[in-house]
Structure 1
Amino acid sequence: MARYTSSFLAKTNLEQIPILLCQLVESCDFEVVYQATDYLMAREIPGQVPFSKLVTVEALVESTAAQNNEVPVTFVIKNDELPLKSNNHCQQLFQKLQLALNQSQEWRLIAAVAT
């Protein structure tokens, strides 16, 4: 199973986080499957790759650590594909999400880890 994580600070208040997360994942061609105030799950839209390569994104909002209009969010990007190559499908979508986060004014990188 390929799995990549990254942590970011959202430069906004806690109430705006669900809207920001939806816009972010939809801009990266994911569809929201489930959303709560402190959690979002989105999946890659089926049809382009085999089922085992479909990528899921989870966004975990650390609402208790929010302060001064900065909210920590951890992203987990994963799929069932074995990461036999360093440039696999999950890694490519992880990079796409990272790029979208880095280009946005609302997000600041804390850490990114490939596991």
Structure 2
Amino acid sequence: MEKLLDLARSLSSDQFGERGLAEVRNIEQEFVEVITFTPADEIVAVLHTVLDEDWMGLPVWARNLAYRMACLQRPDDVALLREAATDLRNFGPDWNEIAAALNERAESLEKDQD
């Protein structure tokens, strides 16, 4: 989890844009590689930590990827689906349809649990 957290903090840093292009690309590539194989619980923990530290700091593409990876691993997690949908709506409207589908899935799962 520490590696992913460090990378997310690097992406969120005010100084991130001041780095050279090669360094920026390396950090972005490493973030993608690490998050691809990180368990959902760790991804969510990192998201909560980084977003609590600076809600707008993490680039939207990194947030979307993180939530997507977590939701793919936990497709029946109602709370996670709703959290991801809310985050997408915060940066929409491009993703409003996807957010609506996530909320519909969450509602369907809840009905099935009752």
Q: Report which of the two structures shows the higher radius of gyration computed on alpha carbons.
A: 2
Of Structure 1 and Structure 2, the greater helix share is in 2
Of Structure 1 and Structure 2, the greater strand share is in 1
Verify same fold: TM over 0.5: no
